[in-house]
Chain A
Amino acid sequence: MTTTVVVAGKGGTGKTTISALLVHLLSQKGVVLAIDADPATNLNQALGVPVGETVGRIREEMSQSVQTGAFSPTLSKQEYLDGRIRAALDEYKGFDLLAIGRPEGPGCYCAANNMLRLSIDKLGQNYRYVVIDSEAGMEHISRQTTRDVDILLIVSDLTQRGIRTAAAMKSLVRELRTSVGKVCLVVNRSLNGLPPEIEETINKYNFELMATIRQDPNLAELEVKGLPTTQLPQDSPLRTGVTQLIDRVGL
């Protein structure tokens, strides 16, 4: 049984930080496939591992090889992609990392993306958890590149805009009938609990608030030194916040 968690939300709310902590903490319970779906590919840095091959580059190489006629006619592109994706996986203790990389250039990628999705879906079945750090915005939801999600964690900061973006995502998911088990909200970088205005908006949109994580002073220091998020001290707000989040969601 695989549980797929997608971390989404407005840009700059701490999606990558929370994803990295989820990967780190969940990998102590079962093997995790971490997917960095943000074109900026920062998840590896937050996890403290080097940057590897990206799915985007694999897709480009395949398309080049097809165009020059070098691609074997007997080789199925689906199988080729399965193999290349397995080879692109960076394997670490308790988790494997796959980076999606840059989005496509001009031209049509419907078929290639459909094949990639199949490959990645199939790959995910081998893990206890799949954690997807998605890009900001909603394209991944509207294009349904993110499907069959058990838990959609929408991260917001302490802004009305953040909550409203989260609400827009929630309704889009419902409209598209994307198969999502549970949609929940995480408020990150709170200062002194939740201001009543924010709380009001959360209630207005009928959000299930799963965690409120305090602004973590330790993070800035790590970022300055370029150290991975996973090195946050045991009692840091982020680490305890994500630990509680895992418990509350029942992961």
Chain B
Amino acid sequence: MEFHVDIGPQYEGEVIRKEDMQVEFGGPKAKAKFELVTLKNPDEIEHEKVEVIGPDIKDMPEGSSYPIAILINIAGEALEKDMEPVIERRMHMYANYIEGVYHMNQRNDVWIRLSKASFKKGLNSLKEVGDILIFLYTSELSAIEKISITLVTDEKKVQELLAEALKVYEARDERLKGLREEDVDLFYGCVLCQSFAPTHCCVITPERIANCGAINWFDGKAAYKLDPEGPIFGVEKGELLDPGRGEYSGCNQCVAERSLGEYNRVYLHSAFEHPHTSCGCFQAILFYIPEVDAFGIVHRDFVGPTLLGEAFSKMAGVTSGGRQVEGSCGLALELIRSPKFFQADGGLRRVVWMPKAIKERYKDVIPADLYDKIASEEDVKTVDQLPAFLEKVGHPWIKGEVELPI
């Protein structure tokens, strides 16, 4: 097939500045924009059909911005529903392969620019853009047996279609939020904090976000791919030695190497024996309260002393520095959402105290029957008030209702 412009990976990373731009689709100025790949039955697809709805490039004034919807339907025996996001993400690469086309972002943030130079060369129709994408998709991904593309620039129509696409994205996110350690072979490690905590190495799994709260498993994956020699690297999880505590042979090996032999075991999901090390920048601390043999959580923004009489900053001094401190663990607040949140020790059902702000923020993940039984600073100000409160509300840990998985 002959196209007006050249195609190839050499054009990836090419940036088109406003001065050199013929038109743009999506981006900050367009109200509605998205791209979506949908798996269909083969008989629903007219192979290699490209449809353009709304004004085309040649009808658009130079320098203008337009809404865009790119709908790609695919079919193929070897294709699965789960592959939709991956195939959709290929758009970024393929569109950037086109000389004079610049593609940024994904989903409903997509932003595409076409250069004046390529427009002058004859790339003046979205039909041709669609043809090029089909050419790239089919030549690079042999599993795609049938494909059709619809490009929409009519604002009203894009708005309409966007509402449906948002539902699809949300459903995909929900599925991915459910990703478990069991589903992957590779975890990620991060040693960004070693300048402050030389023996600290964060182990990041689908169920354990980094202590700082900034890097989840997907971020680890992206960072590692971008810069494999960088401070974020892959960790083969190896053999699962202790499912309850979350001990993996690969994580042990990684921690031994990265802590320069200081530690050689790590329990990802327990605060005891070999807890995860804490850097200096954790968002919160899980702390042991010996009086009731349970845990409290305090976050960095909490003002004043906790029920132990000390403020976050003081407690952080004990927790931090890249050490494994039993019963005192730095963590990201998002870890509260993890199904494996300190599971070996009883998880959320062993938490008896947390600031009201945190309780409210994570209300959707705290079991409804537990919510009022966790004391906040309003209920309990000092540790001697705690047992009476827990007795009164009937906290499940005090009542002996929590079974440990170990």
Contacts from A to B (Cβ < 8 Å): 31, 63, 66-69, 72-80, 82-83, 86-87, 91, 93-94, 96, 106-108, 110-112, 114-115, 118, 123, 125-126
What are 11 A-B interface contacts by the 8 Å CB criterion?
A66-B214, A78-B222, A78-B226, A86-B104, A87-B27, A87-B28, A94-B19, A106-B300, A108-B212, A110-B281, A126-B15
Cα A123 to Cα B13 in complex, Å, equals 9
In angstroms, how far is the closest chain B Cβ from the Cβ of A1? 15
* B190 CB contact (under 8 Å) in A83, A91, A111: A111
Cα A87 to Cα B231 in complex, Å, equals 27
Cα A74 to Cα B300 in complex, Å, equals 27
Contact check, A74 vs B176: say whether CB atoms are below 8 A apart.
yes
B3 in the interface, Cβ–Cβ < 8 Å? no
Q: Which residues of A contact B14 (CB under 8 A)?
A: 126
| With A68-B361, A107-B281, A111-B190 as contacts: A79 and B169 at CB distance below 8 Å | no
Contact check, A86 vs B212: say whether CB atoms are below 8 A apart.
no
Contact check, A72 vs B169: say whether CB atoms are below 8 A apart.
yes
Cα A55 to Cα B111 in complex, Å, equals 19
Question: Which of the four size classes fits the interface of chain B?
Answer: 35 or more
Cα A126 to Cα B20 in complex, Å, equals 13
Cα A111 to Cα B193 in complex, Å, equals 9
Which B residues from 64 to 113 make CB contacts under 8 A with A?
Answer: 85, 104-107, 109, 111
In angstroms, how far is the closest chain B Cβ from the Cβ of A17? 25
Q: Which residues of A contact B218 (CB under 8 A)?
A: 73-76
Interface centre among A96, A111, A115, A126, by most chain B C-beta atoms within 10 angstroms, is: A111
Q: Which residues of A contact B301 (CB under 8 A)?
A: 106
Cα A107 to Cα B299 in complex, Å, equals 10
Contact check, A111 vs B17: say whether CB atoms are below 8 A apart.
no
Cα A69 to Cα B338 in complex, Å, equals 12
Contact check, B361 vs A110: say whether CB atoms are below 8 A apart.
no
Interface centre among A68, A106, A114, by most chain B C-beta atoms within 10 angstroms, is: A114
B386 in the interface, Cβ–Cβ < 8 Å? no
Closest to A82 in B: B104
Contact check, B111 vs A110: say whether CB atoms are below 8 A apart.
no
Q: Which residues of B contact A94 (CB under 8 A)?
A: 19
Flag B5-28 by CB within 8 Å of A: 1 or 0 each: 000000001110111000000011
B334 in the interface, Cβ–Cβ < 8 Å? yes
Question: Which 4 A-B pairs rank lowest in CB-CB distance, beginning with the nearest?
Answer: A108-B281, A76-B222, A111-B214, A91-B18
Cα A108 to Cα B105 in complex, Å, equals 26
B153 in the interface, Cβ–Cβ < 8 Å? no
B227 in the interface, Cβ–Cβ < 8 Å? yes
In angstroms, how far is the closest chain B Cβ from the Cβ of A130? 13
